[in-house]
Structure 1
Amino acid sequence: MENGTTDRAARAWIGAMALFAGTQPGGSFREGAAGTAELVSGAPMPLLNGVISVAAEPDPAEIAEFAESPRLAGAAWSVQVRGERVDDRIVATAAAHGLNQRSLLPFMVKDIDAGHGTDPDGLEVRPVSGVDSDSYRTTMAAGYEGPDALFAVFARPSVLDHPTMRGYVAELDGTPVATSFGVLVGDMVGVFNIGVPPRYRRRGYGRAATAAVLREAHTVGARTAFLHASPLGVPLYADMGFAHAENWSLFTA
């Protein structure tokens, strides 16, 4: 994957986060001159709150300044930068705020076209709206094996009815078996919230839910997709044509 495409996709990812923060009560987003962002989404997950730089060369001083923001107080937050080699000053800033756990987030990018295969027999993948909030939330929670309340921020009507966002649920004979979510940012689409409850895994349902995001995004002009994968998810997305563009460094408590 060309560096230019990866750079644009990284910028689109932070753009998607800004849009998401704007859908949340009390959500906020600001960006500094050197490309550092402060993200407060309200989601109880460090990945979706904190100080993030998608610049090719993060600015340690700006990151340190943003890390002092009172808006981060009480939130589960992180420091995130692109790449595996991180300036010692950024590591020190994270440590000063108790963010001593370091992990890598694979960032993947894919050129998309009109063809994305066929869905498994009997499976229907449909877009959802705010009226589907409860079923979307509970299916996603089951897919991630987490408390139902944890996923309420992703299922608000302000999210599911947003003009640049679209949630999907895959149903087998009317039973929800997978979720997905797409955010359009220019000619790119971010893929999020791919969740499959344990009893329905390894049947292609997560793949079909992901393909639905790509298929509809292509019809409205998106030509590149991006996502963060878990390390275990990299082979699955690679099989769908996503390239492992780079790793991001994530510092959490």
Structure 2
Amino acid sequence: MTLVDTADTAARAYLGALKLLAGSQRNGYFRQTPGGTAEIVTGAPFPSLNGIVAVGLDPSADEIAELAASPRLNEVAWTIHVRGDDVDPRIVGVAGRHGLTGSMPLPFLVRPLTEADAADVPTARRITGADSIAYQRTMAAGFEAPEPLFTIFAETAVVELPGASGYLVEVDGVPVATSFGVLVGDQVGVFNIAVPPAFRRKGYGRVATAAVLKDAYAAGARTAFLHATPDGLPLYRAMGFELAENWTVFAAGA
């Protein structure tokens, strides 16, 4: 399988992960067009988890325009995600008409999983709903943002989603990192890698990522995917993730 094929499969699995998240929420919504473009409302206070995601290599500007006109998007901050750097000017126009005048590249990385990923990760443990407070607090500290913003990720409905797994990395009983994995077929999405500032540069982000890969491999996953921030990119590259492509994200801004 070529890198393009791997990225295509992983991109559709990413959309499947968002569908699961939206389905876990009382007011969540997910609608997908035949062309592979979806309207997603999770209700999360992060624009990247609401809006339009087009995972086809040749997305339809008309489909994006139709979904972008949804009244549901008036209730949330939202974005448009399109694969690739070279975006159809008509899609740029749709984004602009909805006030999404800022754009940025978002690296999409993939990695094959092997038996080596089955190695034990002793300092990481899979959480349950009973760990929600510690998980939310550690994640918020890692992203250096207010705790209430991360409530959705610590809800029992999300933590215990079929195919989903949340993790805490602990040292001497102190939580030092979080991670979250979502299994979609033989693909696993890696999310919410967060390390509070006091514990950075100690390898805990790598441990948190490895915990996701370990359980996912045991459950049948053979490819992992993730979107990387600039700070996280060196870690993931060192762990064997390969840049498959950039996505373009349109968001509110100048």
Structure 1 and Structure 2 fold alike (TM over 0.5): yes
| Contact 2:190/2:224 (<8 A) preserved | yes
**Where does residue 32 of structure 2 map in the other structure?**
31
**Where does residue 125 of structure 1 map in the other structure?**
124
Counterpart of 1:42, as a letter, is G
| Contact 1:25/1:42 (<8 A) preserved | no
**Where does residue 79 of structure 2 map in the other structure?**
78
Report the more deviating stretch, 211-220 or 228-237: 228-237
Counterpart of 1:237, as a letter, is Y
Which residues in structure 2 correspond to 1:105-184 (within 5 Å)? 105-116=106-117, 124-184=123-183
How many residues matched?
250
| Contact 2:106/2:247 (<8 A) preserved | yes
Counterparts of 1:40 and 1:162, CA distance in 2: 17
Percent identity reads 54
How far has the Cα of 1:25 moved from its partner? 2.0
SS at match of 2:110: strand
How far has the Cα of 1:114 moved from its partner? 2.4
Which residues in structure 2 correspond to 1:31-70 (within 5 Å)? 31-70=32-71
Stretches of structure 1 that go unaligned for 5 or more consecutive residues are: none
SS at match of 1:20: helix
Counterparts of 2:3 and 2:103, CA distance in 1: 27
**Where does residue 2 of structure 1 map in the other structure?**
3
RMSD (CA atoms): 1.1
Moved >3 Å (runs of 4+): 116-119
Counterpart of 2:114, as a letter, is D
**Where does residue 95 of structure 2 map in the other structure?**
94
SS at match of 1:244: strand
Counterparts of 2:198 and 2:234, CA distance in 1: 20
Stretches of structure 2 that go unaligned for 5 or more consecutive residues are: none
Counterparts of 1:168 and 1:142, CA distance in 2: 15
Counterpart of 2:234, as a letter, is P
Counterparts of 1:107 and 1:33, CA distance in 2: 23
| Contact 1:114/1:215 (<8 A) preserved | no
1:30-55 CA-partner distances (Å, limit 9, x unpaired):
00122110000111111100011000
SS at match of 1:73: helix
Counterpart of 1:138, as a letter, is R
1:51-75 CA-partner distances (Å, limit 9, x unpaired):
1100010100000010000010120
TM-score of the pair, normalised by structure 1: 0.96
Counterparts of 1:225 and 1:141, CA distance in 2: 24
Counterpart of 2:135, as a letter, is Y
How far has the Cα of 1:3 moved from its partner? 1.0
Counterparts of 2:212 and 2:194, CA distance in 1: 13
Q: Within the alignment, does 1:244 sit opposite 2:237 as a pair?
A: no
How far has the Cα of 1:231 moved from its partner? 2.2
How far has the Cα of 1:232 moved from its partner? 2.7
